[in-house]
Structure 1
Amino acid sequence: MKDLGTENLAGGEGVQLLGLLSFYLEQEQRFQPREKGLSLIEATPENDNTLCSRLRNAKVEDLRSLANFFGSCTETFVLAVNILDRFLALMKVKPKHLSCIGVCCFLLAAGIVEEECNIPCVHDVIRISQCKCTASDIKRMEKIISEKLHYELEATTALNFLHLYHTIVLCHTSERKDILSLDKLEAQLKACHCRLVFSKAKPSILALCLLNLEVETLKSVELLETLLHVKKHSKINDTEFFYWRELVSKCLAEYSSPECCKPDLKKLVWIVSRRTAQNLHNSYYSVPELPTIPEGGCLDESESEDSCEDMSCGEESLSSSPPCDQECTFFFDFKVAQTLCFPS
């Protein structure tokens, strides 16, 4: 196995990869949440007036759902979590403000990462998240978050390291290029981000732990040797590495267990009050005038139901004008849910 030194990577691409790795390593500490602030949140008991780790973790789950709902990329979610944790580790936040802060972190991250055409509308995010704040509230809170973080919102995250490590490993292996699923690794990273403790880990270490555990399941000696060289080049000591590797392993084991609820890819049922339903834009519950016509012949009953996206129930509920204390149910044909799905 060749060393990852520059002299063995004179082919241009290797030099660029190592240069980028060195840059990420220099930047990672700058964008890490303050450990003292995170520890304070962890130590806070649950009550109505203080922010605890359970509320933070629940908010990150909401961010993941928002990212899935609007089709945002993993980078948007990871950056939103980074912005959220950096802000929470600096400021004393009351639980009642957490929803507004979470939405702002998502919008700030989307504005940095996503193409302009893919950035969600503020009003749409407010409606879907049901954060009970106005567009003006969002604008003011975005200003506060940006100022407290000195307008340094674009950060070096564990996802940056994960993608880079993945590229380096594949450049130095004779194995099939599809042997390491980046989608699966990203899903596992999302699982870790849903727990506050992993915000204390250096992004370089967290990413390497995920990749190391996945390579071990593949039982590839060549890939493992490459990772050892990456670990050495990143100057990651064994004590830190094995400490976080154990925590990551436990986290992934819990997410993979039968006790952990996972989405079954059925249609997501969104239940809202009548008042909320009346405030929704028409496009959220409109039904296409004509169902999709298949090319190969007659439309059976099951295909007919799917073609209308199961949204007729929502229309009936609206037209029947239920009492205020009843709820209207809307069905959306989404392949996402509140829980994590590991790619097969």
Structure 2
Amino acid sequence: MLRAGARHPDAGASTSRGPDYHSLYTTLNEYLQLETKFQPRLCLPAESDNGEVTIGARDGAAHVLRCLKVWFDLPTDVLISAINLFDRFLTKMKVRPCHVPCITVSCMNIAIDEYAELNKQPRNVSIEELVSVSQSACTAGDVARMSRVISDKLSLAGRGSVTALHWARLLRALVVGAAEQLALPLSLPEPQLLQLLEIAACDAACVSARTSELALVLVCHQLEIQLVEWSRVAAEGGPPVPEEAYCIYEFAAHLQAHCNMTDASLTATRARVRRAVARYEAHGAAPQRQRLVWRLSERTLKVLRPTDRLTSLLPTIEEQHFAVDATPTRNRSGSESSESEETSDWPRSPVLPVYCDN
């Protein structure tokens, strides 16, 4: 039974304050109908000797997409859409590992086009720039052709895909609206939610779950962080944890029932997300021990001054005593070179300096 202020997703919005609940519930039901269409179902092996794409190759491609997103300062919408296209294409088609780099860049290319068309703005990243930065060893023509193949196989003509990002924003709006009805100072910042979504989207185990379950788990993860913060403040002598905070969890449980999510599947998705976040945090906390290695081409080596003949030990110079009148005279008859035969083969071009930020 619902407590005061908590509303079922099927309830009307006649007495609601803040967001338009009627439109939010209509969108929720629409997303539920389209969830199966845009849901990837990856069945990739951990290791393969038959030339199949493995889970590691898929996660590597997802991290390349995230690097492109950071490099070109693209929004999270483009990244999640590109990863969704990539996973759905792997679900539908059997792909060779040598084609994965081209498919990765092509999915990013399609996602950039969709975002620019949806927001009525010009595209700011060209295909040539994507190919150059990604180092995918393919040409712009290959990316254009592969983009057409992906669009045909996934039937992308029409409205955009409903990804986990759309679900996360919708469920966050519903939870925040319920907190406003309870007069609960709930803070669910969207940037942190998007960062959690990016971490989960780069893990193949997380994207295999239902997009609605993944979004609800991420929102509940933020709720747990907020509850822990309230408990810490209360333990330090601050105000106690608001009783209305537990009503939000009850509202999330009714969202779970409305979306037909079982407790077992939701628990499994929560465990996958926590493992992905734990690995990400452990990797970020680990110190960087990679040594800086300079890789020089043969052409650059010919320009640089060789150092194989240099030694750290200098020969002893013996002192010679000459009488003043016995000092041998030296006749200057023409110019002489100060270079010995040993160093006459050094290049005459100037040494190019190498700068390092560190």
Normalising by structure 1, report the TM-score.
0.71
Letter in 1 for 2:184: E
Residues in 2 aligned to 1:89 and 1:272: alpha-carbon distance in whole angstroms = 39
- Aligned CA RMSD, in angstroms, stands at 3.1
Kept in 1: contact 2:9–2:255 (CA 8 A) = no
State the match for 2:153 in structure 1.
Answer: 148
Kept in 2: contact 1:270–1:329 (CA 8 A) = no
State the match for 1:112 in structure 2.
Answer: 114
Q: Residue 91 of structure 1: CA displacement?
A: 1.7
Match for 1:218 among 218, 226, 232?
226
State the match for 1:206 in structure 2.
Answer: 214
Residues in 1 aligned to 2:142 and 2:351: alpha-carbon distance in whole angstroms = 34
Residues in 2 aligned to 1:273 and 1:128: alpha-carbon distance in whole angstroms = 20
Q: Residue 93 of structure 1: CA displacement?
A: 1.4
Aligned residue for 1:78, secondary structure, equals helix
Structure 1 271/146 Cα, relative in aligned 2: closer, same or farther at 3 Å? farther
Match for 2:197 among 189, 204, 210?
189
Structure 1 99/45 Cα, relative in aligned 2: closer, same or farther at 3 Å? same
Letter in 2 for 1:237: T
State the match for 2:343 in structure 1.
Answer: none
Residues in 2 aligned to 1:49 and 1:150: alpha-carbon distance in whole angstroms = 27
1:228 and 2:253 correspond: yes
Output aligned runs, 1:152-191, within 5 Å. 154-173=160-179, 174-176=183-185, 179-191=187-199
Residues in 2 aligned to 1:120 and 1:195: alpha-carbon distance in whole angstroms = 26
Structure 1 262/25 Cα, relative in aligned 2: closer, same or farther at 3 Å? farther
Aligned residue for 1:120, secondary structure, equals coil
State the match for 1:3 in structure 2.
Answer: 7
State the match for 1:134 in structure 2.
Answer: 139
Residues in 1 aligned to 2:276 and 2:84: alpha-carbon distance in whole angstroms = 19
| Percent of aligned pairs with the same amino acid | 25
Residues in 1 aligned to 2:62 and 2:9: alpha-carbon distance in whole angstroms = 38
Structure with greater helix percent: 1
Normalising by structure 2, report the TM-score.
0.69
Residues in 2 aligned to 1:270 and 1:188: alpha-carbon distance in whole angstroms = 33
Letter in 2 for 1:95: P
After TM superposition, the structure 1 stretch with the greater mean CA deviation from structure 2, 246-255 or 185-194, is: 246-255
Q: Residue 203 of structure 1: CA displacement?
A: 0.4
State the match for 2:273 in structure 1.
Answer: 248
After TM superposition, the structure 1 stretch with the greater mean CA deviation from structure 2, 47-56 or 142-151, is: 47-56
Q: Which runs of 4 or more aligned residues in structure 1 lie more than 6 Å from their structure 2 counterparts after TM superposition? A: 269-275, 319-322, 328-331
Residues in 2 aligned to 1:103 and 1:329: alpha-carbon distance in whole angstroms = 32
Residues in 1 aligned to 2:70 and 2:204: alpha-carbon distance in whole angstroms = 20
Structure 1 47/16 Cα, relative in aligned 2: closer, same or farther at 3 Å? same
Aligned residue for 2:217, secondary structure, equals helix
Q: Residue 8 of structure 1: CA displacement?
A: 4.3
Gaps of 5+ in 2: 228-244, 299-349
Post-superposition Cα deviations, 1:76-125, rounded to whole Å, max 9, x if no partner, equal 10010010011112222122211111000001011101353344111111
Post-superposition Cα deviations, 1:192-243, rounded to whole Å, max 9, x if no partner, equal 1111122211100000011112212222323322212222222222121112
Kept in 1: contact 2:7–2:178 (CA 8 A) = no
Q: Residue 47 of structure 1: CA displacement?
A: 4.9
State the match for 1:31 in structure 2.
Answer: 38
After TM superposition, the structure 1 stretch with the greater mean CA deviation from structure 2, 17-26 or 85-94, is: 85-94
Output aligned runs, 1:194-343, within 5 Å. 194-219=202-227, 220-257=245-282, 260-261=283-284
State the match for 1:60 in structure 2.
Answer: 62
Q: How many residues align?
A: 274
Aligned residue for 1:155, secondary structure, equals coil
After TM superposition, the structure 1 stretch with the greater mean CA deviation from structure 2, 116-125 or 53-62, is: 116-125
State the match for 1:303 in structure 2.
Answer: none
